[in-house]
Amino acid sequence: MTRTDRRGERVALLGLIVSMAGALLLALLSIWSQHSSTSLWGASFLMLGVVGIWVLCYLQLHHQRLVAEERQEVAELERHRREKLAGAQTIFDEEELNPMESLAMGRRLRWVERYLIRIIAHLVADYHFIAGLLLLPWSWQFPPLREADTYVEVLNAPIILFFTGGIAFVTFMLSRYILGLSRLPAYSALRAGGNFLFGSSAVCLMISISLLCEISGLTQVEEWLGSAIALLLIFLSLETHTNFVLDFYRPRIQGQYQRPFYDSRFWGIFSEPAGILRNLANTIDYQFGFKVSETWFYKLMGRVILPLLLVQIAVIFALTCFVVVPPGHQAVIEHYGQPLPETAKPGIHVTQPWPIDRATIIPVEQIQRMVLGFAKEGEDEHDSSDQTMEEKPPILWTKKHYKKEYKLLVADSSAVRSTSRSNSDPGLESGKELPVNLLSITMPVQWRVRHENDKDVIQYYSQSSDVAAIIESLAYRELTRYAASADIMTFLGGKGIKAAEELHQSLQRACDGSGYNGEGLGVEIVYLGIGGVHPPPDEDVAQAYQDVVSAIEQKDANIKEAEGNAAKVRVESGGIRWRELYDAIVAEEKAAESSDAELAQKTATVERLLRTVAGGEARRITTEAEQAVYASLFGRRSEAESYQMQLAAYKMAPRTYRLRAYLRTMEKALQDVRKYVIVLDHPEKVLIEADLKPPQALDILGAELMATEEKSTQ
């Protein structure tokens, strides 16, 4: 390396200028695309970080050149000194000249490598980390990206594709030259910049491919690439910090070049593909314990692996030329991003390879379903489809069925109340005020793609990513409109079927005119129903509603109980044919009040009904009255006949009649009295002693003992 050889520094400056220009151009392209591309901003941030890497390369090469020049100057001075002395010895030897060199550019180089380069490298790594975080979709996202709308198509994609492809080509060619130059020991410091420049070329190439996909209709590829670049920047930052820590544990070999810690090993893997194969071969040889890489099979695979990969890629692209459409489906084929006027019917179809042609299969006969009226997240466990109807507990409207239920304002004509105009509010007019209520309604909607003609299928495909959301919004709009003009009894009463039919027709009309181009969505509403109608399941509303329902039910229960008691009293009073008896009694009372001549006849009718028709208490009273009458009548007659018979007997034998009457009386009087008959000759001499003590209890054992004692005494 001569004094004038500054090729390494010039190459570093060239890489710095190219990286700076690429970063500025990519930033301008991002601004020109209305900040619709995250990947462009990511590539711009990456190339701006490469500028810092080139600064490090330039500093290291510059100071290495100064050290080399100083070493050459010292060597030249030593040569001139030796020529003047003609080989004579001096008091200074060669070892004493080394400290003189260390006091100049060598010491400065060590200071720069120890402090300045480490600080700048860590700043570049921190910049990569912050740039990666700014690209991710979160609250601290890069302001231009955060203020832009949610993902939209990249504007001016074909022109941006031309520039990104040009940047990829320029950076790739420059990186190959720099990496080739870095194989020379004097320019080895250029390897870090060459690796990062190769990485920038690869990222720009990926952006170009994503823009091709964007033009072909694959709009999500570019968005995914932006997130991947953000993660790549964070990874590069972590790699730099990790290499810095690992450098403390790597052995230092005198005279061998040590790769700086800011040189990315990750980019080095891809920038030197031969190194990958060499490392892979060494790893396999180490694992098997012999030179597997020198076998014929490994050498054969090394020769044919690239053709096999190319054949595989060709086969994959060839397979994209065949489209298999299953029954019940149709395929929309896009040619250079524009759909063909005719769709592919079920069967096998041949197209041009991707990305020239791209086929999208649409299930035209599949019934798609959505349920409106509640939030889709956090559904209650009662709604799980793996439970059978027997396993599901009953669902009550007083408890929440879902995490959130939407409420509709519905008029209530049954609660109309009259209000008069207030003097303080002249805006109110006297008349009828129609109150409103809140209802929670579940509305299932089933729809499918119209496929009678290809135009409807293509119309659906052109907005297929938003059709479900559009139908849901239209259904909510039509339901809200209908509820605002309907009555609460329309939903709670028997008009629910008619309401569902009207909503079905209005939703179909709305879908037929809500396309992006003023035409329809290309869908057919197959079914629309109304169910789950109930007041809001709030605690206060539920309690108030239950109180009203309980009061109504209690009133009905009291009425039914009173009617039952009345029927019971009527049947118990007059029997099953109580109505006939009741009408006869009423007629008798009216005849008595009006002194009707038929009073006697009506009274006889009542008496006849009481004896023959009436039942219950009336029949019992009538029967007891008849029994009392007959008992009194026959009793008096029996007494009269008995008196005549007694009078005849008295006349025939008066003394005998009186004696028998006396004995009969004594018999009745002494019937319950204990009698003793004592037969004595002189009853006047008998002394009677009465013991009024109550009789003692029977003591059989004592009586037996007394009897035994008496026998023993005898």
Arithmetic mean of pLDDT over the chain: 77
Structure-derived torsion over alpha carbons of residues 701, 706, 707, 710, reported in degrees to the nearest 10: 160
Q: pLDDT at residue 301 above 60?
A: yes
Contacts of 445 (CB under 8 A, 6+ apart): 369, 370, 371, 372, 471, 472, 475, 507, 525, 527, 528
Contact 138, 145 (CB under 8 A): no
Residue 256's CB: how many other CB atoms inside 10 A?
8
Measured CA to CA, the distance from residue 9 to residue 54 in angstroms comes to 10
Q: Is the pLDDT of residue 249 over 80?
A: no
Q: How does pLDDT run across 349-371, given as a tens digit for each residue?
A: 888 887 788 888 888 888 888 88
pLDDT in tens, 496-509: 788 888 888 898 88
pLDDT band at 378 (very low <50, low <70, confident <90, very high): very low
DSSP string over 260-310: -TTS-HHHHHHH-HHHHHHHHHHHHHHHHSS-GGGSHHHHHHHHHHHHHHH
The confidence score (pLDDT) of residue 453 equals: 83
Structure tokens at 495: 């008009």
Block residue for tokens 């074909």: 158
- pLDDT at position 559 is 92
User: Which residues lie across from 449 on neighbouring strands?
Assistant: 523
Q: Report how far residue 248's alpha carbon sits from residue 423's, in angstroms, rounded to the nearest whole number.
A: 91
Query: By three-state DSSP, how is residue 674 classified?
Result: coil
Residue-wise pLDDT for 618-651, tens only, equals 778 888 888 888 888 888 888 888 888 888 888 8
pLDDT of residue 621: 82
Q: Which of 170-184, 477-491, 598-612 has the highest mean pLDDT?
A: 170-184
Domains of the chain plus CATH, in order, are: 7-87+99-251+258-271 (no CATH), 320-362 (no CATH), 368-379+396-421+430-537 (3.30.479.30)
Lowest mean pLDDT among 125-134, 284-293, 383-392, 462-471: 383-392
81-90, 221-230, 395-404, range with the lowest pLDDT: 81-90
Distance between CA atoms of residues 309 and 316, nearest Å: 10
Q: Which residue has the higher pLDDT, 702 or 11?
A: 11
Question: Does 270 have pLDDT greater than 60?
Answer: yes
Please name the residues in contact with 658: beta carbons below 8 A apart, sequence gap of 6 or more. Answer: none
578 pLDDT band, cuts 50/70/90, is confident
pLDDT tens for 174-218 read 988 888 888 888 888 888 888 899 989 989 988 888 888 877 767
Tell me the per-residue pLDDT of 127-168, one tens digit each, with 9 for 90 and over.
999 988 888 877 777 777 766 544 456 677 788 888 888 899
Provide the 10 A C-beta neighbour count for residue 570: 16
pLDDT tens figures, 382-438: 444 444 444 555 666 666 667 777 777 777 665 544 333 434 444 334 445 556 777
User: Rounded mean pLDDT of 546-563?
Assistant: 85
